[in-house]
Structure formats: C-alpha cells, structure tokens
Structure 1
C-alpha cells in the first residue's frame, strides 16, 4: 500500500482513507475505514472518465450488479455514489491476493487447491447466475484467494443474461473482456449465456495449475489468441492428470456440453480448513499484518471537494453501521473524528486468521479491484476523445487500427501496411503491425518509444508471423502523425503512406465475403473446364492475422510425355492469413496443407487481394495476385 499524496482526498463519503492500493486506467483504489472501524476498498473513477456519460452508465451497471448478487462469493457492496462528481463505490475489503499475483510469484497451485478453487468459483457463479447475470470477464486478476475460498470481483462488464446479445463486442466492434480468458462465443461476437463463464473458469483452472494460459500469452498477439480460442484445442501441457477431465469439460467448444455452475461446485466439498499451500499462507501473514495495522493519516486536504456527496448505503450494510472491533475504544466517533484504532491484540488476531493475505499489497489489489489496462483487455476509446489513459501514455486519438497502401492504389494494392495500437507505457510493445507485399506477409509487435498529442513513434520490433516462414525481418522505426481523427501519416525509413482508421476486433471480415465460393471459367475459357476443375475458396470470420482463407483445388493429372488427361486427380489445399480489410481484403501467400495435398501440388507464393462485384445478377468474388497486373480468378457462391 502506498501513502496518500497531497492530490488525494482524505475522505470519500463516510470513509477516511488510509492509503492507495493502486491506480489503474479507470481510476484509483484506496484502503479506507468507516466511522465504525470497518475496513473497505473504495474505487474512485478518474475525473476525465467521469465526464463521459457512457462510462458513468457502465459504472452504475457495475454497482447495480454488485448489489444484485449480494456478496455471495464476491465482495459485498457497502456504499456507493454513482452520481458524484467522481463516482465511487465501496466494497468489503478482502485480505487476499489475486490469483495472478500468486501464480506469478509462487508458481502453479497444487491440484487439491485447484480443485477447491474450481468448487468455490462454481458456488460463486451459482449465486451470480441465479441473480440473472453473466460476469463475462473472469480472469486471474479478478479472482481473489481469501482464506475461506476464492472471491469473484469486478462486475464492470457483467450483463443480465437476457441482454447479452453482443458476445465479446461493443456496438462499435471493440473487444469487451480479456481475450486470453474469453469463451469461443464471446470471441465470435455471438450471444453468450452462463456457459460462457464456465469456459472462462476452465481457462482459469488451467492457468492456476500450470502457470500458463491455455490459448497462449498476450505476447503472442490478441488476434492469435482469439483465433485459437475459437478454433484450436487448448494447450494443457503440464496439467496434472487428475485435473484433466474437469478442465477439458469446462473448455468444451460447445456451450451445451460444459458443466453447470452447480456441477462445478460439487467437484470438491466445502471445507473450513486451509485450502492454500502452507508456505503461501506463511509468506502472506506478515504483509497482511502491516496492511491491517495501517493508521489513519493526518488530514491534509480539508476542502469540501475532498469528499463525495449524497452517499447511499445499500442493503442495510451502511458503512457507518459496521460493528466496532473488540477493544476499539468505545464511542465518540463524530463525522469529523478519526475512527477508533483497534488494539494490537485484535490486529494480530486478524493477521493470523487472514494469513492468506495480500501478496503484493497495492499491486495485487489494484489489478484485482480494477481492470488496469492489461494487454489482454482493451476497449477502443470514444470517437473524438483526446485524453491519455492513466494506464498508459498513448493519446486516445491513436488507439485502434490503421490501414493504408504503400504501393499501388486502394483498388489495386501492391503492398499494404496495417498497425493496431493499444494503450501502454514507453518501453512496452503496444503496437501490432502487418505488412503485406507480393511475396510475403509479415506480422509483429513494436515497442513504444514516444507519444505526443499529434505524433507517436515505435521502435524495436519482433516478428510474430512470417509467410513464408523465416522470410520476414523486424519492422524499422515507425512514426505516425495525426492529420485528422481518422487519418494519420505513416513513415518508416524513407517510405511514407497515408493510413486511415480501420475496423478491429475478433469479427473483422465483412459478411458479404463469408462462405464457400467455387471458381468458374465461363468468362475466361468458354466454360469447358468447369467439369474438370473443382477449385474453391472458403472465407471464415475472425481477426486480422488469422488464417481465414482456405483454398482447395482438384484437377486431372496429365501424362508428362503426351499431355493427355489421366483417370486420376490432383488434390491441393492451403490457407492464407488475413492481412487487411480496407477497400479490399488482403491475404498473404497460401501456405500448403501437407496433410490434404498431393505431392504434385505447388505452393501459392503470391499474396492476394479479394473484392466482390456483380455479374449477370450474381455476386462474383474476384481474387487477384498482389503483384504484376493480371487477370483475376472468378468465383461464385457454391
């Protein structure tokens, strides 16, 4: 816990602040005490966010969700004021670290602890789901490990079951949730139900038991993670054998086959004994004692603005009505007086009873009580916003995706660039880039060097995707300068281009392209080859950087000497990675699928652009090679 600074208030509502637990992209979290001596965590929204009506509504929904659940398996709501100049909410302080902090510092939990974790999360989700809510953002930093069991926190994007029709997307297509711990239906932007939370629990259990995310870490790229969630099996290497059936059942791609919260709750009996490893409990005790022994600091800011107004207590749990701890010093706690300081004996007892306490004080609880802009969770800022998030140094005008043509034209590009910028600090890899030329597709991540209101610079890069393999070099320095809200000038070395704001998210392909298309030869060769060739391209939904185009070819073998057709066919298959969605779809060279291709197949070594027009009243897909001008391949709906 950090000390209060002169810019911090001394009181919020009826609570006197003790110190800062942390600061995130959406606000600050303080440790505080009520007039009666109750310890609480108070979340206060940043003033610049408080000025945004949409965010106020989201914050009010979080408070309403907390009240609706009623504290069962969560952090009980004590009081709030969502109408204050800086809205705030006070919840019961839980002396326990976040799951992420424990795994990062101590390593994976033993199987018995993981099974108890699963049952505890199941019991919590029973209450949440019975209240008609889907949490939608279960991740390691939103699970606190208390002595009595796990607690689920942060209901910032929780929704009523009957209103969750947008999966993991907002109305603008931005990601809502934490991609490393989202369900397939969230990734696809489909309607989600309570089974979505169960999938997230499966990912949490795998992480708790192995120390690794089952669909890849954030440094492998958000889009790649979401593609694996939707299409690939989880990586459960290192998962203890006894946990395999439970974790795999939760991670079933089909929501109907996942266990319910009630079934999850029965995988381990309720127990009053210690469920965390003893060595973890011992290490946490001393830090718990320091935190619970905190004194109320002397007032430094008596101005009226230091306190929020119109406090509302909820559910009979008003903070001022909290019981005074034994030996607390009796009465005499007026509105302006500091709360009674408990005697040392009480503090020592609390430290022992709550030995599974704060592992990293401010850090763990800052992450736990507030989404703090981790790479795995982000949302595009509102249009027109120029603020810089407290979680990073990137001006909001740059956040999101940008695309443009380096060579050629918008309708006939020969080389393209795309860069997607997330919030973060200098020295962090906050940009994901994709560059496509006629011969290759290169994708990587770049480090933020500097960021001003109208100019941002990225430096050192690494390559995350190279098609063909091992052909790409890390991108050089990239500089983007603002020309308008939707246009930037991009420069890398001597190359410059105009980039325009582009769509982003896990469902980026326009609906008109989706489905299977069959190649036709009517216009190019009289149609006499249509019976000999069966060439198709199937385009699926997903993010940039994923292999969303599947090409199949079937054609007759020929006699090498005579050229005559033989009574046999050559079957070839391959995939192409999506590289952009500007005026046309841009895809990298086709990577052969060796398991589905004959030895006579040759790789498609040219990148492609795809567009749709209409001919004879039918939609036609035109696939051009990205290179010298040539005739396109024609495809029609199969």
Structure 2
C-alpha cells in the first residue's frame, strides 16, 4: 500500500481513505474505512471511461448484480455511486495476498491437499456467482486472494462493462481483453460464455497453484500461439501431483458440456483445517499486522469527512449487527437449489483414480517444467519488498555471503545424481534478475534467470523467472519461487514449495573440466572382424563453462533395409550435451541432436554425468545416464 498523494481525495462517499492499493485498467483502488470501522477497497473509475454513457449504464447493471453476489467466497459490495462524476464501488477488503503472489513470489507451488481445498473454496464461490446469473470471465491467480478462512474471488463481472466500449473484447489497439494464459477455449473463439467457461479457467488456476505455471505455457511465443494451444492442445500436467490430475483434467475438457459444474467440484473435494501451509499462514499474520499499523498511522490525519470530496454521503443503513451508520450489511443467506448429479459421479471417479495413483508411491513434482515455451522472456519488473530493499542498498541487495554459485542434488546421491540444480547469484537490486539457475531432471535441461524478491543476511528469496535455454527445445517453463537460507559460508538450504535440498558452494568460470577429461574418447566396437570399421562410437570432451556444450557424441553404423540387411551407406549421428555443474561427477543435460544429422538418429536421453576412472593403468571415461544402468565406457582415441 502507498500513502495518499496531494491529488487524491480524503474520502469517497461515506468511506475515509487510508492509502492507495494500486491502479488498474478500470481505475484507481484505495484502501478505506467505513464509519463503523470496516476496512474496504474503493475503486474509482478512470475519467475517460466515466465520460462514456454506455460504460456507465453497463457499470451500473454490473454493480447491481454484484450486490446480489457478495458473500460466499467473494468480496461483497458495500456501497457505490454509479451516477457521480467519478463512478465508484466499495468492496469488502480481503486481508490476504493473491494466489499469484504466494505461488510466484513467496512460497512456490502449493501441496496437493492445499490445492484440493483451494478447488473446493473456488468451486463454492463460482457456484454462488453463477446462481446470481454472472460469469466471472477473468478467473486467474491475481484475482484469487488467500485468507485463513479460504480463498476469495475478486474483480468479477466488471470486465463486461469494458467490453461494450472496446469492440467486442478487443481494445482500440487490437489487444485481447482478459488474461490469455487463463482463458477458456470459448473465450479464445469469441463464443458466448457460460458458467462452464469459469470452470475451465478454474482448472488452469489449480494447475498454476500446483506447479507455478499455466498448463498451456506462456505468451513468450506470442499471444495467438498461446490461445491456439488453449483451443486445440491438451494441457501439460507433467508436474501435477497424481492426486490432482483427475480433477484438473476434468475441468480442462475442451467440450464445455463435459466439464463438472462448480457446485459438483465444491461438493466432491475435502477441506483440511488449516487449509494453508504454516509458512503461508504466518505470512497472513504479518500482513494483518502491517494493515493494522497502516490504519493506526492514519488516525486523525484524514480530515474533512465526506464533504471533502464534494460527493454526498450514502444513506445510513443498519443491517444484521452492523454499527449504526455503517453501510456494510451482512449478506443474507441464500437457499441452495437442487444441483445436478450426473457429472459429479464422473468427477468422483476421476478423483478416486488419482488417489489410487498417488497411494502407489508417485512423488510430488515441485519444479515447474514441461509444456510449451522455452523462449527467453520477462521484463525484469518486480515489487519485492524485504528487509534489504533496493533503496536501502543502492549498489545491490544481495548479501556478499550469497554471491557466487551453489549446487545441490534433488534426487539421487552425490555419486549417482538423478536430478540437480545450480544457482549462481550476482549483485543486483530487488526486483531485478540477479540469479541464473540450471536444472537437470525429468529428461530435460532448463536454464533461466530468476528475479530477486527479497534478501537479508540469512535468506534470499527468488520469484518470477524466465527461460533462456531448453533441451529439448520448448520443454521448459520458468522456475518457481525459491528460497535460499544460509547455514554456513559453504552451505545453504534451498526450498521450493514442499521440496528441500542442501546446496554447497560451487566454482564458476570458463574452464571447469579438469585437463584429464579433455580430448577424444572411443568405445570398443560392438562387432569384430572386417565389419568393425563400419561402426564408430566416440565422444569428444572440450573445455567450457556451465551452459556450454562440452560433450559431442558421434555414432556411425550401417544402414539397414526393412529385413535388417546391411546396406552400403551408413547412418551418421551426432549429439551435443551442455555442462550443468562444476562439482564431480560433472552433470550434463540431455543430448541435443546436431543440425544436419540423419533422420534415423533417435536417442531417448535423460541427461547424465561424467566420471574418470583407471583400469589396469588405462584411463576410462564413463558416461552415466541419470537412471540405474551401466555407463558407456570410452578409452582414449588420441
């Protein structure tokens, strides 16, 4: 929250303003207090929209509808004036962070039990909205707020007023109204929207909560490409826990009629108590304390009351225990009509199947990989605030003890790693991309840059990222929220959501590999006799930094016909692999086929690592894949 400036009013209607919450496409948003002491968010429409009669009419109709909705899982409308020079609406303030902030900046992907509870809460809220005759149309992580009592949906319905004056969903510049990563196929095609559209968006939101990414990728490759994937491609649920895939896949059905209703979702899912992880609950407590401090600091400074804005106060209303003169009535309970059951049985079966899969021992994949993407992106913007802010340390916010490279093993052992991460931190201000990460696992190598959210002497928090390297191409998505906690000058603890690992200080530089690894190495031919010369299996190791292709594999063998008979010509294949660590054994990403290689060259490679051993006085280079099998062994060919 920012303080009010000289151009801001001190009150709007009966609400005394406390500070600025932000500026959106529709107008300014203020934090305010009612006469009875209730905290509210007041939105004031931009002057250019207020000048349009059609916008005003639609805005008035939407506010009337929103007044019927307020209550279950939403922020209630507490007052409005759609006829004043600057139309406004006051909505109950929800004292909690957005899902986007929690997953993208502060905590990372949420545990499966929390995601299921999130689905139940959002299902109840959407059912309440739909029974009031509304379709949200813009359900996305930034429009979902997390509270101790459950999630809340905000900013629903208002976008309809904008559509009327923006050429059917497009702005005057041709940009799409809405959030492309969280749209439904019906929205993409410009069709009439019903409640099922919100359910599809709910599926995308739950996938984001579980993985830190949209199931259809980002708009780095273009908004139209993203919208095409939503309309035609299956969602990438690679990193979604098995306990959640049935629910999310049902919501993301392309056919609206095949999706469960919001009510069916709410009825099917369990809600644990507490529903949020302890770290997130602690964050909510700190947020509430800051809010109280901010409100206390404004007591006696607002002045003037309602007359200061030149608008008449709203009539006094006293309803359901509100303080006299407080225009904040408690929402009346609504009867629940009979609900359809057919699709609920389908959803229940999907959830039961997922639960069996989870019980079989499938692990929770926390790292946000998979899907389309892989193009560098991100604008470096940030809103991180921590004990060490950019203004406090203009030269950079990262403590010296954190600078440099750190490496850790997420799965496997030091001798036989199965999944690894490397993070290299450079100096920079809060909000800038100060960290380069390298992740090898799940048959891919991903490299990218992460934004610094906050830093103090003991802890560094990294938030939004972009992808700079993806092997295979377009298989990586940006890394999620990461926390680094210093334990000693050489050791730190890394966490992302529920996953944790110990990282150790690592080397940097352009010459990582020891000299004895370098050169050309050859494997013993698979056949003997005169045909042996037709087979070549060799590797060449060159010097380089992390991120450089240091290994080249050459494989040559006779081409065969359909019956398996050898032909005169040969298949010539060559691959390269990128160095991903500086600590022995030296981790490599999956093999990447070089341009111009034979079309028959196929290699299912999960990534690997290099070791050097000696047998009977001869050096042997061992190339291990990242699963349990024997290594390829190569002898010097130079």
* Greater relative CO, 1 or 2 (CA 8 Å, sep 6+): 1
Superposition TM-score, scaled by structure 1 size: 0.47
Superposition TM-score, scaled by structure 2 size: 0.47
